[in-house]
Structure 1
Amino acid sequence: MNEQLKQTIQALQGGVTNLDGGAAASNVTSWHQTLSGVPGAETLVDHLAQLKAALEGGDLDGAAALLPGLSSETERLASQAPAADQDGLRQLADLLRG
């Protein structure tokens, strides 16, 4: 599993409500950059952009409302990811679902 995915899973294991907003926005920005231009990830990239805007604007309710869609897209893309990352992406999807 790649390091970025490991770090994101570790950060979310305490629950999304326990995340520092600045750290969450930084993590979302990093994923947005990583996934921009990846074929099939356009919807996920759009969700990440919306999540970043909500976090940076302090709209925690709006950010929380985006997590189910982000979870679904992450799970959908897991089967297309490298084999080493598929289980981690499914775990991430579960954590985002809360």
Structure 2
Amino acid sequence: MNQQLQQTLQALSGGLQGVDPSAAVSNVGSWHQTLDGVPGAETLVSHLAQLKAALEGGDLEGAAALLPGLGSETEKLAAAAPAEDQDGLRQLASALKGS
């Protein structure tokens, strides 16, 4: 599993409520850069931009409302990801969807 994915899963290990907003902004920005231009990730990149804007604006309720959609988009991309990242992406999708 790649380091960026490991770090994101570790940050979420205590639940979404335990994530520091400034760390979340940094993490979301990093994922936005990583996925920008990846075929099939356009919707996810758009959702990440919305999430980053909500977090930067202090709209935590708005940010939370975006997470299930991010989880669904992450789940869709998992099948096309490198084999070593697929399980981690599925874990991330589940955490984002609140399952």
Distance 2:17 2:47 in 1: 18
Report the AA paired with residue 88 of structure 1: G
Q: CA RMSD in A?
A: 0.4
Report the equivalent of 2:33.
33
Q: Deviations over 1:18-60 (max 9, x none)?
A: 1110000000000000000000000000000000000000000
Matching of residue 69 in structure 1 with residue 73 in structure 2: no
Cα deviation for residue 17 of structure 1 reads 1.1
Structure 1 moving runs of 4+ over 3 Å: none
Aligned to 2:5: 5
**RCO (CA 8 Å, sep 6+): is it higher in 1 or 2?**
1
Matching residue of 1:16: 16
1:81 counterpart = 2:57: no
TM-score (ref. length: structure 2): 0.98
Gaps of at least 5 residues in structure 2 are none
Percent of pairs with identical residues: 77
Q: What residue identity is the alignment partner of 1:95?
A: A
